[in-house]
Copies of this chain bind each other. A is one copy, B any other.
Amino acid sequence: MASDQTRSAILAAAERLYADRGFGDVTLRDIVAEANVNLAAVNYHFGSKDELIAELFVTRSIALNRERLAELKAAEEQGGGRPPIDVILRALVGPTLRGCLGPANQRSTAARFMIRASIESVPPIRRIKNREIDHLRKFAAAMRRALPNRSDEEIYWGLHFALAMAHHTIRESERLTKLSEGKCDLDDVDGIIERVVGMAVMGLTAGKAESKTPAKVAAR
């Protein structure tokens, strides 16, 4: 056990490098150089490169799910167990968007790492990823309670599209800035969240007026 210093230095360096450059071209030698530890330390502390990645992903995955669920639970408690749809969706996409966008200096390495993991499907992560399904189902259930008149199919498409807009905005933020010549403000995270949530709510509630809190149209 001892200090754990080396161990966590490796974890931090690996997460930073993976978040920045992707899994494809980050070698163990890159990681140990960044962490200022010996090459063999990785295999000593983690067994293998894959197990290092897996531990990183499991840790962050649990943390993200916890963050999302905490936001959902908080809303359920103060909303009498049935929070409106926009609050649910905000709990789903908010944590990731806040972690990955906004001023460059305060973006979270953890969130950026998770986005990498959701893009580059490397074997050790692929094996774990199935748990995410169960996590998403909890949000689908909450959405169903908020929109009892919608079919399951509509619920799932709404959930899917909300994640689509959030993730794509993170992945292609640079391109969107370039394309729009800066007219789309990628630093206004809250604005983006409202935009994504508003859009998803609109799709989910179109044609029916069932929610007490109607879709917030076109954020900001």
In the complex, how many residues of chain A place their beta carbon closer than 8 angstroms to a beta carbon of chain B?
Answer: 44
Interfacial residues of chain A within 204-220, with CB under 8 A of chain B in the complex: 206-207, 217-218
CB-based nearest B residue for A132? B175
A153 at the interface (CB under 8 A from B): yes
Copies of this chain present:
2
CB-based nearest B residue for A217? B206
Q: A120-B24, A133-B175 are in contact. Are A183 and B206 (CB under 8 A)?
A: no
CB-based nearest B residue for A119? B119
A67 at the interface (CB under 8 A from B): no
Q: Summarize A's interface: helix, strand, loop or mixed.
A: helix
A121 touches B22 (CB 8 A): yes
> Please, how many angstroms separate the alpha-carbon atoms of A120 and B95 in the complex?
24
Residues of chain B within 8 A of A159, CB atoms compared = 179
Residues of chain B within 8 A of A120, CB atoms compared = 24, 119-120
A6 at the interface (CB under 8 A from B): no
Residues of chain B within 8 A of A154, CB atoms compared = 218
> Please, how many angstroms separate the alpha-carbon atoms of A47 and B42 in the complex?
37
A184 touches B160 (CB 8 A): yes
CB-based nearest B residue for A120? B120
Query: What mask results when residues 152 to 192 of chain A are scored 1 for a CB within 8 Å of chain B, else 0?
Result: 11101101110111011100100110111001100000000
A156's contact among B157, B164, B176, B206, by CB below 8 Å, is which? B176
